[in-house]
């Protein structure tokens, strides 16, 4: 076991210590004192940030959350008014997180299946400039890996190679029984969901089938462990569109060495950003901030070229 995994286990408590694997948890057991988080502690000068990324960043680790996909029309969890947690009344859930809770899903899959029908990847939503910025980092030879909490698959639609992405909370690329784990036929599963059915396994428990996304209380995929090596050798971290409230994912931001510059692009200051000398911050709308940063890097045209090529291909395919 690596020292960082040991640390994660020490913080995340008995669930991890018991299983030897990393389990998706809703909150951090021991948050850092809030006085450490301060806007003033961050470099907010976009030109200086671009210069630093140009100069230092040849091994960039990117981490993303639901905020990266809100400009594509997919609501996040926690933005007041539009976030999923504020719009759950129709599902009559006992508590908001139940929609992604494995125990609740086994009893009542309807809420999740209704959500899945609308958000099934590749049907209604398309990548936006924030996703293409990550592809651009890859094209420029700077990206080590993207770690994403998102299950919408939009980052892959940009053409980012699969090996460059870790879907920390799984994806809709496969489906299986929530009880016996038997693989399900993905096309059949998708058709049933689109027809408002609740697909079930033929096993003795007749348990509901779920896509292989990681619910609260389930283990993260083995590939997530790559973050230990990736962060150890990183020279720049970019964190975008996440509240950093779900662990162990959020711990990636703290796993990079202290001398490594960390850039947060988000509407609000989150996690431990502001507590380190090298921390940088671009506060506000993600897409606007990404455009500003690309302009400062001299990459703006490249960014729009990627998006335009995608849009053209999409139109040709219709």
Kindly list the residues in this chain that would bind ligand CNA in the complex (CB under 6 A).
Answer: 65-67, 69-71, 74, 76-79, 83-84, 149-152, 169, 241-243, 245-246, 266-268, 270, 285-286
Q: How far is the CB of 35 from ligand CNA (least distance, A)?
A: 20
Q: How far is the CB of 203 from ligand CNA (least distance, A)?
A: 27
In the structure encoding, which two tokens stand for residue 1, read together?
Answer: 């076991």
Residue 15 CB coordination number (10 Å): 15
Q: How far is the CB of 154 from ligand CNA (least distance, A)?
A: 7
Contacts 24+ apart (CB under 8 A), 176-181: 176/209, 176/210, 176/212, 177/201, 177/203, 177/205, 177/207, 177/208, 177/209, 178/102, 178/105, 178/106, 178/109, 178/207, 178/208, 178/209, 178/210, 179/106, 179/203, 179/205, 179/207, 180/205, 180/207
Nearer to ligand CNA, 79 or 108 (CB): 79
Q: How far is the CB of 77 from ligand CNA (least distance, A)?
A: 3
Nearer to ligand CNA, 150 or 272 (CB): 150
Q: How far is CA 242 from CA 70, 76, 77, 142, 216, in A?
A: 11, 9, 10, 22, 17
The C-alpha atoms of residue 278 and residue 308 are separated, in whole angstroms, by: 34
Nearer to ligand CNA, 160 or 201 (CB): 160
In the structure encoding, which two tokens stand for residue 253, read together?
Answer: 């931001």
Nearer to ligand CNA, 42 or 201 (CB): 42
Question: Could you list the active site residues?
Answer: 169
Q: How far is the CB of 121 from ligand CNA (least distance, A)?
A: 9
Nearer to ligand CNA, 104 or 235 (CB): 104
């Amino acid at each position: 076991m690596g020292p960082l995994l040991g640390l994660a286990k020490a913080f995340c408590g008995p669930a991890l210590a018991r299983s030897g694997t990393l389990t998706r948890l809703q909150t951090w057991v021991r948050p850092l004192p809030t006085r450490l988080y301060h806007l003033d502690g961050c470099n907010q000068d976009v030109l200086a940030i671009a210069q630093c990324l140009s100069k230092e960043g040849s091994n960039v680790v990117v981490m993303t959350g639901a905020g990266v996909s809100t400009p594509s029309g997919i609501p996040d969890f926690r933005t007041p008014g539009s976030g999923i947690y504020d719009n759950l009344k129709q599902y009559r859930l006992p508590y908001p997180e139940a929609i992604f809770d494995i125990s609740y899903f086994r009893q009542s899959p309807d809420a999740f299946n209704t959500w899945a029908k609308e958000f099934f990847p590749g049907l209604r939503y398309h990548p936006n400039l924030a996703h293409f910025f990550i592809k651009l980092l890859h094209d420029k030879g700077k990206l080590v890996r993207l770690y994403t909490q998102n299950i919408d698959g939009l980052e892959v639609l940009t053409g980012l190679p699969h090996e460059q992405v870790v879907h920390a909370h799984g994806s809709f690329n496969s489906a299986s029984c929530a009880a016996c784990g038997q693989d399900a036929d993905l096309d059949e599963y998708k058709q049933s969901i689109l027809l408002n059915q609740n697909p079930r396994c033929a096993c003795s428990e007749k348990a509901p089938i779920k896509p292989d996304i990681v619910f609260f209380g389930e283990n993260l995929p083995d590939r997530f462990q790559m973050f230990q090596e990736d962060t150890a050798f990183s020279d720049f971290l970019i964190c975008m569109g996440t509240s950093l409230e779900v662990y162990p994912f959020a711990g990636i931001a703290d796993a990079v060495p202290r001398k490594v510059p960390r850039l947060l692009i988000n509407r609000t200051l989150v996690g431990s950003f502001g507590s380190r000398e090298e921390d940088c911050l671009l506060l506000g709308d993600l897409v606007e901030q990404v455009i500003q940063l690309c302009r400062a890097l001299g990459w703006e045209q490249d960014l729009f070229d990627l998006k335009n090529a995608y849009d053209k291909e999409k139109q040709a395919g219709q």
